[in-house]
Structure 1
Amino acid sequence: MPSDFSGYIFGDGSRGRGLLYVPAGLDDANVVFSDDFDTDTLFAWVDSEDLDSGTMERNALASDWWTKFDLRIDQELPGWRAEDKVNAYLVIENLGNLLNDDWGVMYEGAFPRYQAAVDASIDDQGRYVFNEFNDPPGQTRVSDASRWSPRMGIRYEF
C-alpha cells in the first residue's frame, strides 16, 4: 500500500506512480512547504509509520496479516435404497469472528490500494512544493471478508 502524491504530479496521466518523497525535516532542500501546510501533522504521521526520509519504496506500508478459520461438519447417512447416500453438512465460514468480534477481521488500504498523502507540485527548480497534507486514513475494515456466515444443506446421491 504505497503512499503517494495526489493527482498527476509527474504529468504522465498515471495516479499512484509518484511515490511519496518524505522530507528529512523542515529545512530539506528538496521540499518547499506552502504557508498553510501542516508540517506538524505530516511529521507526526511520518513518525507513526516509522518512515525514513527520501523517496518511499513501493509497498513500504503493508496491510496487516489476516487469518480466519472455517468449520465444516459433514455426515454421511444411508439413503432409502442400499446404494443411495445422504450427506448432511454444516459450514461456518470465519468461525473465529462468530466467537469473538475482534477475530477474523480483515483490514486493508482503501481501493485502489494506495493513499495520497500529500497534494504537491514541482517548481521550476525541480523541488517538491507541498501544498496540503491529506492525512492518509490507513487501513479500513473489509466488511464482507470479516463477517462470519453459516451454510447448511443436504445432498442426496442415488
Structure 2
Amino acid sequence: MRQFTLVRELQTERTAPATDVTANKRNMQELEENLLYKLTTVQGSLVDDEAVIEVLNVTKNKAAEVREKEAVAAEAEVKISTALEEFRPVATRGSVLHFLIVDMAVVNFMYQASLCRGLYEDHKFVFTLLLSLKVDMEREYVSHEEFNTFIKFGKMRVG
C-alpha cells in the first residue's frame, strides 16, 4: 500500500511544476503584452520614459525567473520519471497475474465467477505453471505461439 501512496505522491509532484510553468508562461504573456502596450503608447523618447524602463526591467527579471523555474521543473520531471519507472515491473507483474486469474476460466468454468475462495487443489500446480509461463511470455522468453501449443496439448491430455 505504501508503494501506491508513493506513486500517487510522485505523480502529484510531477504535475505541480507543470502547473507552475503554465502559470508563469501566462504571467510572461501578460507582461509582454503590457510592455508592448507601453512601447506603442510612449510619448517622446523611450529612454526618458521611466514607466517603460520599469516594465522592461520587470519583464526581464520575470523572464529569467521563469527560465530558472523551467529548468528546475525539467530536472524534477527527469527524477520523478526515473522513480516512477522503478514501479513498472511491479505493475507489469500485477497485470500478468490479473489476466492469468481471468484466464483460469479456461482451466475450469467455476473460475469465471470468482477466485476469492482460492484454487482447487488440483489446479494449484496448473496455476503456478501458467503464472511462470505468462511471466516468461512477458519477458519474451516464450512466444505466444509456444504458449498456445503447450496449453492446447495440456488441455487435450487433461480434458
Could you tell me the TM-score, scaled by structure 1's length?
0.21
Task: Please state which structure has a larger fraction of its residues in strand.
Answer: 1
Of structures 1 and 2, the one with the larger relative CO (CA 8 A, separation 6+) is: 1
Could you tell me the TM-score, scaled by structure 2's length?
0.21
Task: Please state which structure has a larger fraction of its residues in helix.
Answer: 2
Task: Look at both structures and tell me which one has the larger radius of gyration over its CA atoms.
Answer: 2
